[in-house]
Amino acid sequence: MKHYSLLYQDPAKRLPHAAVPGFLARRPTAACHVTILLGLYNGAAYLDDQLESFVRQNHRNWSLRVRDDGSDDDGPAIARRFAATMPGRDIQVFSGPRRGAARNFLSLLDFVPHGSDAIAFSDQDDVWLPGKLSRALDRLVSVPDGVPALYCGPTILTDSALRIRGHSPLFRHPPSLRNALVQSIAGGNTMVLNRAGFRLLRRAAAYRGPVPSHDWWAYQVITGAGGIILYDRDPQVLYRQHGANLVGSNRGVRAGMSRLAGLAAGKLRRWSDQNIAALTGAAPLLTPGNHELLMDFAEFRKASLRGRLSGLSQSGIHRQTRPGTVALWAAAAAGQL
């Protein structure tokens, strides 16, 4: 298979014909303003490293919004001290809704300053490589104005001391709602959305109820509305694994066993229930074809064994890897999809 460093979904053919690096119709990115949205909860142990990585970005035009979701450590004070050391930089720290990480991150969309060209989600315990923002913007500026787009990619896995332990999986199948309904291909710590993308997500957030995670929700909304996903195969984030991660690595035997245990406990089914309810509420934002796909998914999940398997086959809903596909079919057979 030919290797491309960038995968993209472009159902309406709105990108230049040769949409691979070296052929993009680029515009200058230095003037693009990025708002970084950092969700904080008891993150004091590693927060300084992440904040320092913002300073080291070779794209200098950024502001920061931090929303603390009820920490009982020194995290909010660290964020405020950081703001005090950056005079002239637009950095603000707010109290969050105290209703979980997904709600905290999505509520940050209401604090994006007017005129921002893009937003970047940030976890509290990672480290960004210096080219993270500039690389994302280099890709996003190829997207026509008004077309929602989301940049994302894999991560470099590290231990708590930032010693490299591996990489998150690389995915080869094109992003789409048929994948997004049952899998998120990238962490929120890698995601950067253009102006049309974060405005779409903010509109969708007004419709939704609880969702499992803000990044999975973003992937579903952008693909569901016919937007563009720019998947960069070159990781730009050091994803720190320290035992207290809200979501850990999805690679390895232990992660596989955890997924199987979650499947047996009905976790995937509960997540699907939440995502379907939220996307149904945001149906006016979906393309007709994707709305139909969503309704079909909701319907065949409730069917008999034969109906579930037939519906899954006909829908084209899929995961990115063979083990994931096996698990998906097992979930459908067990009525846990």
| 304-328 pLDDT per residue, tens | 999 999 999 999 999 999 999 999 9
∠ CA(72), CA(76), CA(78), 5° rounding?
115
Q: How far apart are CA 170 and CA 190, in angstroms?
A: 13
What tokens were used for 26? Answer: 């680029």
Q: Edge to edge, what strands does the sheet with 6-9 contain?
A: 6-9, 228-232, 149-152, 192-194, 118-122, 34-40, 62-68, 91-95
320, 185 contact by CB (below 8 A): yes
302 versus 23: the higher-pLDDT residue is 302
Q: How far is CA 292 from CA 130, 245, 295, 315, 324, in A?
A: 42, 36, 5, 10, 24
Q: How far apart are CA 222 and CA 200, in angstroms?
A: 8
153, 235 contact by CB (below 8 A): yes
Residue 132 has pLDDT above 60, yes or no: yes
* pLDDT (0 to 100) of residue 156: 97
pTM, 2 dp: 0.88
177, 249 contact by CB (below 8 A): no
The pLDDT mean for the chain works out to 88
| 184-233 pLDDT per residue, tens | 999 999 999 999 999 999 999 887 678 999 999 999 999 999 999 999 99
19 Cβ contact list (under 8 Å, min separation 6): 6, 8, 10, 142
199, 227 contact by CB (below 8 A): no
Q: How far apart are CA 318 and CA 321, in angstroms?
A: 9
Q: Edge to edge, what strands does the sheet with 127-128 contain?
A: 127-128, 237-240, 156-158, 164-167
* pLDDT (0 to 100) of residue 160: 92
Q: Please report the DSSP string for 166-216 in residue order.
A: EEPPP--SPP-HHHHTT---S-GGG-EEEHHHHHHHHHHHTT----S-HHH
User: What is the average pLDDT across 162-184?
Assistant: 94
Residue 18 has pLDDT above 60, yes or no: no
Main-chain dihedrals φ then ψ at residue 39, nearest 5 degrees = -90, 125
